[in-house]
Amino acid sequence: MLPSNQISLATKYLVDDLPGARQIGTRLYGILVKIDSGEPVSEMARAFLLANNLLCLHALVEGRTDFDTFALKAGDERAHRMDIAKIAASEAADKEARLKAERAAASAEIFSDPHYQRRQESKQLKRRFDLGYIEPEHYRRAMRLLQSLAKGKRLRPEDIVWLQAAGDECWTAAVAAAWHLVEAEVLTAAWRASNDPWDAINASSHWRKGGHPELGLSLTEDALAANPTSSPKIRSALATTRGAALRAVGRFIEAKALGEEAHALVPNDYRPCTLLGAVLIELGELNAGHEWFVKAEQRGAAKAAVDQDIRTLLTCASYTDRERIRAFLLNKDPVRFAWLRSKRVLTNKSAQLR
């Protein structure tokens, strides 16, 4: 609240509509104090009054009018000032509203522009799929394929090969997960329609790699119940993919049992061997796990695939377990596992293939 003398001076000299008349330290307030105390007012102060159209105050300072006449004319002057201020405020509000409408119209025009919409969609896709710079020659095809994935549409095998060949530029963990989920949806629907166990087997693998192993477990449970007398190959594949899903949710003992069952059904298949190799290492049985990986390679597993399994389990392990497993494998076969000497080979991207 302002002191009463500040308010009374502004009111007395009929300039209470001006903020500067009520604020100590302002030029106008200082002039009012001098006028009221009878002190001389400088030429600069008088020029200030003229410059601000305070003509009645200027006339009072100049001695060209008495206070009563000043009060009559200053009231009219104040009313005129207030009218002008109202008009200026109204014009300013109208201008702001007009500018706001123009900005809104311009924004609407930009947002409705097809080129702008495509750019924004591309930005959203890149954020969603954790993509950075894409080479110009790859950009259009990559965006088209990512749009399809985002809409849950299935991609052709050659498109997947193309995306993977582009490496980190187009094939991130988020892209891989989205693709796995689309495949899982399609294959699950196919299994529901045909009861073909291979659709369930492949769908389970995709559910797991897409980050939903629990859906793979539910699916394989239904598939096993629906195919109790199927061939050993099918039952082995169902047991293996279910075991992989159990491993993904940390149920290692059950995963091991299913891996052993799958191997007993089809001893020459490498897939149960890789499952058992990974599970046993995660259970701390390093020698046994390594032996199963050796068996997997003897039965046709590619070294790169085995390395990827090892890389994935190391990525998911604690630092202590990771270093223990690394040291064990390097000691076991320093040539075969020479790639483990570089810690850069372990990245979170490995987890997308688990």
Query: CATH number of the domain that 311 lies in?
Result: 1.25.40.10
Q: What does the DSSP 8-state code read for residue 155?
A: P
Would you say residue 351 has pLDDT above 80?
no
| Domain termination site, one of 151, 171, 191 | 171
The answer as to whether 80 is a domain residue is yes
Tokens of 80: 């005129």
The Cα angle at residue 300 between residues 207 and 253, in degrees rounded to 5: 50
Other C-beta atoms within 10 Å of 293: how many? 25
How many other CB atoms are there within 10 angstroms of residue 182's CB atom? Answer: 20
Q: What is the pLDDT of residue 268?
A: 97
What pLDDT, in 10s, does the model give residues 241-298?
999 999 999 999 999 999 999 999 999 999 999 999 999 999 999 999 999 999 999 9
Helix residue ranges, H only, 195-346: 197-209, 213-226, 232-248, 252-265, 270-282, 286-298, 303-316, 319-332
Task: Please answer whether residues 260 and 295 qualify as being in contact, where contact means their C-beta atoms are separated by less than 8 angstroms.
Answer: no
Distance CA 304, CA 270 (A): 14
> What is the rounded average pLDDT for all residues in the chain?
90
Q: Report the number of distinct structural domains present in the chain.
A: 3
Q: Is 331 exposed, middle or buried (0-12, 13-18, 19+ CB in 10 A)?
A: exposed
Q: What are phi and psi of 287, to 5 degrees?
A: -60, -50
Tokens 């073909």 label which residue? 196
For residue 142, pLDDT beyond 60: yes
Whether 79 is in a domain gets the answer: yes
Torsion sign across C-alpha atoms 61, 66, 70, 73? negative
Q: Examine the domain organization and report whether 347 and 248 are in the same domain.
A: yes
Is the domain of 308 the same as that of 240? yes
Q: Residue 114 domain-assigned?
A: no
Q: Residues 103, 134: one domain?
A: no
Domain assignment present for residue 75? The answer is yes
Residue 344 predicted with pLDDT over 80: no
Cβ-contact 212, 184 below 8 angstroms = yes
189, 247: one domain: yes
What one-character DSSP code corresponds to residue 229? T
Domain-embedded: residue 117: no
Instruction: Indicate whether 197 belongs to any domain.
Output: yes
User: Are 208 and 254 found together in one domain?
Assistant: yes
Q: Out of 20-29, 174-183, 252-261, pick the least confident.
A: 20-29
Residues 210, 163 share a domain: no
- Write down the pLDDT at residue 1: 39
Q: What backbone phi and psi angles, to 5 degrees, belong to 284?
A: 90, 0
Report the pLDDT value the prediction gives residue 112, as an integer from 0 to 100.
Answer: 65
Q: Does 94 share its domain with 199?
A: no
Nearest CA-CA partner of 249 in 284, 202, 214, 209: 214
What average pLDDT does this structure show over 199-205?
A: 97
Predicted pLDDT of residue 111 = 64
Neighbours of 324 (CB within 10 A): 14
The C-alpha atoms of residue 103 and residue 221 are separated, in whole angstroms, by 59
Task: Tell me, yes or no, whether 51 and 89 share the same domain.
Answer: yes
* Residue 116 resides in a domain: no
- 86: tokens are 């109202």
Residues 212, 227: Cα–Cα separation, whole Å: 23
- Domain C-terminal end among 76, 109, 142: 109
Same domain, 189 and 325: yes
| Domain shared by 158 and 183, yes or no | no
In a domain, 264, yes or no: yes
Max Cα–Cα distance, the chain, nearest Å: 119
Cβ-based neighbours of 235, under 8 Å, separated by 6 or more:
224, 227, 262, 265
Q: How many whole angstroms separate alpha carbon 13 and alpha carbon 69?
A: 12
- Residues 77 and 140 occupy one common structural domain: no
Distance of CA 289 to the CA centre of its chain: 39
Q: SS3 of 5, please?
A: helix
Domain that holds residue 149: 122-171
303 shares a domain with 195:
yes
